[in-house]
Structure 1
Amino acid sequence: MDKVAKQNALNAHTWVGVFLSVLLFLVCLSGTIAVFHLEFERWEQPHIEEMENVTPQAIEKAMDTFLAENTEESHHLYVVFPTSDIPRLVVENDHAAYFSDSDGNLIEKESVSFTQMLVDLHLYLNLPHSWGMILVSALGAIICTLVITGIIAHKRISKDAFKLRRGGNGQQAQIDLHNRFGLWASPFHLVIGITGTYFGLAGIILVLVATANYGGDRDAVINQIFTPDPVIAPQEGKPAIGKAFAQMETLAPEKSPIFLTVHEVGEPEQFIEIYAKAPNRMIYAEGYRFDTAGNYIGDAGYEDGEWGKQLFWSMYRLHFGDFAGLTSKWFYFVLGVMLTMLCVSGMEIWLSKKAHPPLASRLWYAVVWGSVSALALTATVDMFFAGSLIAVFWCLMLFNTAVTVAVKSLTKPVWLMISGLSVLVLLATYFAVNQSAALSIASLQLNIPMAIYVAWSIYRSAVLIRRSKKVAVYRDGDSPGDKNQVGINQKTLGTNINA
């Protein structure tokens, strides 16, 4: 490929990354953390009883109690089974959700405000969903563009595939690390970009496919992806969800029921559908359908459908890494950290080439490490505050920006320290509020990684602060004879501090 094409690709890669760096970083950071969104739901209420299985009788009792206490009209009823990725029994409708113990007694209302805010940040950047999804999907396409242009712009992609140079002023090592992360994990980054783009553009794709192949009939396209509701005789009465659930051991003994939905509650077309995870399959679930009396009707055919239908039903697990338990989630987390660090290192390389303009550099570090601090403090506030966490998070982000502009000492080491201390405040508050439940599996699976982050961030910030003090010593020790060497050392150390 000629030099002009490589240079054009490099220019496109640079400027797209620079102008969209903040949005790309927030989407990548929130997505990396949201890989554990189910674990965060458990973490938010760690004292709830957890179980491996539940009896049909307990499910019936929990739903009967729930309906007696929640009489508002609802088009759907749901039961989340402990055989899902959350080992708890939950009964809910379109308005509220309650946990139940293994005997079918309701415990307390489900409250996962922080998890909802985090997922909303990743999917919509906390914007109105109609166009927030389109923006985030466009960013998914931008990620694909950055991956492709980055590969095209690489001058010696085969020779430099494993090169990581150390020493000097640190800038070359940062460039090498940026290139290695971008190259090694490019298949993953493309998968994330493509699936993320799909989620937001599904509506547009639906219209295009309907126009091209079905004479504009969108319902016809939907019926190809989502199996139409069963045609059954008019139904009435209370749905026999316990009877339906009991049949799963015979109908699909190898599958794990995830949740149950009662569609069109109280209407003649009411029916029950149980979604079960198929082992060794990427699709989200297969649907098993029952009439109101609990008689089996048939399956939805997602598992054995055409490849397009199976691909569609695999998008969720493919995007969030939810297909091989915690193993795949941790794998996605590590790769997500690499993608997030690409956003950070790419911007820092650009700032380095611009001689690290003070205000722009401080603002970037306020976004990178300040967002970690804002998320931690938002989770802390959630333990005492019943209002909008979206407002809390963005007020904290605006406060970080304003303080960074006003206080020149808020450099990268300081912001890194603040982020670690913020997570430490979160952990301390969490232990104070939840006490012994903070030592449960539901808590420790996230508290331990957060404690590791606290230790790393405080250690790393201390290292960077020591380097900055060395720069100050060199400045104070300037002498005419050492002026040139001191200038070189200042430049070298200053760059390393920002590495």
Structure 2
Amino acid sequence: MDKITKQNALNAHTWVGVFLSVLLFLVCLSGTVAVFHLEFERWEQPHIEEMKNVSPDVVEKAMDTFLAQNTQESHHLYVVFPTSDIPRLVVENDHAAYFADSEGNLLEQESVSFTEMLVNLHLYLNLPQSWGMILVSALGAIICTLVVTGIIAHKRIAKDAFKLRRGGNGQQAQIDLHNRFGLWAAPFHLVIGITGAYFGMAGIILVVVASLNYEGDRDAVIQKIFTPDPVLAPQEGKPAIGRAFAQMETLAPEKSPIFLTVHEVGEPEQFIEIYAKAPNRMIYAEGYRFDTAGNFIGVAGYEFGEWGKQLVWAMYRLHFGDFAGLTSKWLYFVLGVMLTMLCVSGMEIWLSKKAHPPLASRLWYSTVWGSVSALALTAVADMFFTGSLIAVFWCLMLLNTGITVGVKSLTKPIWLLISGLSVMVLLIAYAAVHQSATLSVASLQLNIPMVVYVVWSVYRANTLIKRAKNAETQIETDASNSAPQSAQEKRVNA
């Protein structure tokens, strides 16, 4: 490939990354953390009873109790089974959700405000959903562009694949690390970018496909992807969800039921659908359909449908790494950290080449490490505050920006230290609120990584502070050593 093409690719890579750095960073950071969104839901209410399985009678009892207490009109009823990725029993409608114990007694209302804010930040950047989804999807396409232009711009991919130079002022090591992360994880980053772009562009794709192949009939396209509702004789009566659930052991003993939905509650077209995770398949779930009396009708056909249908139904698991339990989630988390660090290192390389403009550098560090602090303190606020967490998070981000502009001493290590201390405050508040439940599995699976982050951030900040002091001392020493020599040279010359 000629030098002009490589240079053009490098210019595009640089300026796209610089102008969209903040948005890309926030989407990547929130997405990396949101890989564990189901674990965060458990973490928010760690004292709830957890179980491995549940009987049909318990499911029926829990729903009956829920309906007796929640009489508002609803088009859907849901049961989340403990065989899903959350080992808890949840019954809900379109308005409220309650946990139930292993005997079918209702416990307390589900409250996952922080998790919802975090996922909303990743999916919509906390903007109105229609606009936010389009923007975030466009950023997914931008990620793909950055991956491709980065590879094209790389001058010696094969030769430098494992090069990591150390020493000097650290700029070369940062460039090498940026290039290695971008190269090694490129397939993952492309998957994330493509699937992320799909979620927002699905509506546009639907219109285009309908116009080209179905004379503008969008419903015809939807029915190709999402199996139409079954055509049944008019249904009436209470849905027999216990009877339907009991049949899953015979119909699909190898599958894990995730959740149950009663569609069109109280209407003549009412029917029950149980979604079950198919082993060794990337699709989200196969749907098993039953009439109101609990008689089996058939499957939705996602597991062995056309490849396009299977691909669409695999998008969720591909994007969030939810296909091999915690193993795939931790893999996605590590690769997500690499993608997030690409945003950070790319911007820092650009700042370094511009001789680190003081205000621009401080604002970037407040965005990177200040956002971690803002997320931690938002989680703290959620324990004592019932208002909008989106407002809390962005107020904290604005506060970080204002303080950064006014206080010149807020350098990178200081912001890194602030982020670690904020997470420590979160852990202390969490222990105070949840007490003995802090030692439950639901708590520890996230609290332990948070403790690791606190230790690392404090250690890393201390290292950077010492390094900066040593550099200043070295500069002063060099200056003092050169001054007498200059004077002596002047005397010799005289």
Q: After superposition, where does 1:219-368 map in structure 2 within 5 Å?
A: 219-368=219-368
Shift of 1:478: 5.9
Match of 2:115 in 1: 115
Provide the C-alpha distance between the structure 1 equivalents of 2:441 and 2:269, rounded to a whole number of angstroms: 42
Match of 2:78 in 1: 78
Deviations 1:72-94 (A, max 9, x none): 11100000000000000000000
Deviations 1:104-127 (A, max 9, x none): 000000000000000000000000
Match of 1:446 in 2: 446
Match of 2:47 in 1: 47
Provide the C-alpha distance between the structure 1 equivalents of 2:313 and 2:232, rounded to a whole number of angstroms: 25
Provide the C-alpha distance between the structure 2 equivalents of 1:364 and 1:208, rounded to a whole number of angstroms: 39
Deviations 1:294-330 (A, max 9, x none): 0000000000100000000000000000000000000
Provide the C-alpha distance between the structure 1 equivalents of 2:179 and 2:43, rounded to a whole number of angstroms: 36
Q: After superposition, where does 1:326-475 map in structure 2 within 5 Å?
A: 326-474=326-474
SS in 2 for 1:160: coil
Shift of 1:483: 5.9
Deviations 1:157-194 (A, max 9, x none): 11001111111111111000000000000000000000
Deviations 1:196-222 (A, max 9, x none): 000000000000000000010000000
Provide the C-alpha distance between the structure 2 equivalents of 1:150 and 1:73, rounded to a whole number of angstroms: 54
Which amino acid is the alignment partner of residue 71 of structure 2?
A: T
SS in 1 for 2:98: strand
Shift of 1:447: 0.4
Deviations 1:368-414 (A, max 9, x none): 00000000000011001111000000000000000000000000000
Which amino acid is the alignment partner of residue 237 of structure 1?
A: G
SS in 2 for 1:383: helix
Which amino acid is the alignment partner of residue 223 of structure 2?
A: N
Provide the C-alpha distance between the structure 2 equivalents of 1:55 and 1:362, rounded to a whole number of angstroms: 57
Provide the C-alpha distance between the structure 2 equivalents of 1:328 and 1:260, rounded to a whole number of angstroms: 25
Which amino acid is the alignment partner of residue 33 of structure 1?
A: V
Shift of 1:434: 0.5
Runs of 4+ in 1 over 4 A off after TM superposition: 475-480
Provide the C-alpha distance between the structure 1 equivalents of 2:217 and 2:466, rounded to a whole number of angstroms: 66
Match of 2:144 in 1: 144
Count, aligned residues: 485
Q: After superposition, where does 1:98-113 map in structure 2 within 5 Å?
A: 98-113=98-113
Match of 1:495 in 2: none
Q: After superposition, where does 1:483-498 map in structure 2 within 5 Å?
A: none
Shift of 1:484: 12
Alpha carbons of 1:377 and 1:483: their partners in 2 closer, same or farther (altered >3 Å)?
A: farther
Shift of 1:473: 2.9
SS in 1 for 2:384: coil
Match of 2:176 in 1: 176
| 1:200 lines up with 2:212 in the alignment | no
| 1:159 lines up with 2:159 in the alignment | yes
Provide the C-alpha distance between the structure 2 equivalents of 1:234 and 1:187, rounded to a whole number of angstroms: 50
Deviations 1:28-79 (A, max 9, x none): 0000000000000000000000000101111111111111111111100000
Provide the C-alpha distance between the structure 2 equivalents of 1:166 and 1:410, rounded to a whole number of angstroms: 26
Provide the C-alpha distance between the structure 2 equivalents of 1:469 and 1:179, rounded to a whole number of angstroms: 29
> TM-score under structure 1 normalisation?
0.96
SS in 1 for 2:108: strand
Shift of 1:467: 1.6
Provide the C-alpha distance between the structure 2 equivalents of 1:116 and 1:482, rounded to a whole number of angstroms: 60
Structure 2: runs of 5 or more not aligned: 486-494
Provide the C-alpha distance between the structure 2 equivalents of 1:358 and 1:72, rounded to a whole number of angstroms: 57
Provide the C-alpha distance between the structure 2 equivalents of 1:116 and 1:308, rounded to a whole number of angstroms: 30
Match of 1:186 in 2: 186
Provide the C-alpha distance between the structure 2 equivalents of 1:158 and 1:458, rounded to a whole number of angstroms: 37
Which amino acid is the alignment partner of residue 139 of structure 2?
A: L
Provide the C-alpha distance between the structure 2 equivalents of 1:484 and 1:240, rounded to a whole number of angstroms: 94
Deviations 1:247-268 (A, max 9, x none): 0000000000000000000000
Which amino acid is the alignment partner of residue 395 of structure 1?
A: C
> TM-score under structure 2 normalisation?
0.97
Match of 2:26 in 1: 26
SS in 2 for 1:236: coil
Shift of 1:351: 0.2
Alpha carbons of 1:71 and 1:463: their partners in 2 closer, same or farther (altered >3 Å)?
A: same
Provide the C-alpha distance between the structure 1 equivalents of 2:30 and 2:337, rounded to a whole number of angstroms: 10
Structure 1: runs of 5 or more not aligned: 486-499
Match of 1:215 in 2: 215
Match of 1:491 in 2: none
Provide the C-alpha distance between the structure 1 equivalents of 2:172 and 2:220, rounded to a whole number of angstroms: 55
SS in 2 for 1:77: strand
Provide the C-alpha distance between the structure 1 equivalents of 2:393 and 2:225, rounded to a whole number of angstroms: 37
Shift of 1:466: 1.1
Provide the C-alpha distance between the structure 2 equivalents of 1:292 and 1:246, rounded to a whole number of angstroms: 14
Provide the C-alpha distance between the structure 2 equivalents of 1:483 and 1:383, rounded to a whole number of angstroms: 60
Provide the C-alpha distance between the structure 1 equivalents of 2:472 and 2:11, rounded to a whole number of angstroms: 36
RMSD: 1.1
Provide the C-alpha distance between the structure 1 equivalents of 2:249 and 2:431, rounded to a whole number of angstroms: 40
Which amino acid is the alignment partner of residue 77 of structure 1?
A: L
Provide the C-alpha distance between the structure 2 equivalents of 1:431 and 1:469, rounded to a whole number of angstroms: 36
Identity in percent? 84
Provide the C-alpha distance between the structure 1 equivalents of 2:384 and 2:483, rounded to a whole number of angstroms: 56
Provide the C-alpha distance between the structure 2 equivalents of 1:473 and 1:183, rounded to a whole number of angstroms: 37
